[in-house]
Amino acid sequence: MRNRWWGLRMLGAGALLCSAMAWGAHGERSVVEARRGLTQDEAQGARRSIAITVDDLPGALPGDDFAYGELKELQKINRGIPAALKAHHAWAIGFVNERKLQVQGERDARAELLQMWLDAGLWLGNHNYAHDDFSNTALQKYEDDLIRGEVVTEALLKTAGQSEKYFRHPYLNTGMTMEVKAAFDAFLKERGYTIAPVTIEDADYVFNDALAHAVEKKDKKMAAKTKKEYLEYVDTVFDYAEKESAEMFGRQIPQILLVHDNALNTECLDALLEKLEKRGYKFVSLDTALSDPAYATPDLYVGTGILWMDRWKLALGMKLDLSKGPEPPGWAEQIFEQMRKERQKE
- Crossing angle for the helix pair 71-87 and 263-278, nearest 10 degrees? 10
Gap between the Cα atoms of 19 and 228, Å rounded: 44
225 exposure class (CB count in 10 Å sphere: 0-12, 13-18, 19+)? middle
Which neighbouring-strand residues pair with 95?
Answer: 125
Tell me what pLDDT residue 39 has. Answer: 46
Backbone angles phi, psi at 250, to 5 degrees: 70, 20
- Crossing angle for the helix pair 71-87 and 107-119, nearest 10 degrees? 10
190-247 residue pLDDT tens: 999 999 999 999 999 999 999 999 999 999 999 999 999 999 999 999 999 999 999 9
Tell me what pLDDT residue 43 has. Answer: 45
Q: Are 172 and 307 in contact (CB under 8 A)?
A: yes
Show pLDDT as tens, one digit a residue, over the chain (346 residues): 444 333 433 343 333 443 333 344 345 445 555 565 554 434 433 589 999 999 999 999 999 999 999 999 999 999 999 999 999 999 999 999 999 999 999 999 999 999 999 999 999 999 999 999 999 999 999 999 999 999 999 999 999 999 999 999 999 999 999 999 999 999 999 999 999 999 999 999 999 999 999 999 999 999 999 999 999 999 999 999 999 999 999 999 999 999 999 999 999 999 999 999 999 999 999 999 999 999 999 999 999 999 999 999 999 999 999 888 999 999 999 999 999 998 876 5
Burial 163-196 (b: 16+ CB within 10 A, else e): ebbbbbbbbbbbbbebebbebbeebbeeeebebb
Please, what's the largest Cα pairwise distance for the chain? 59
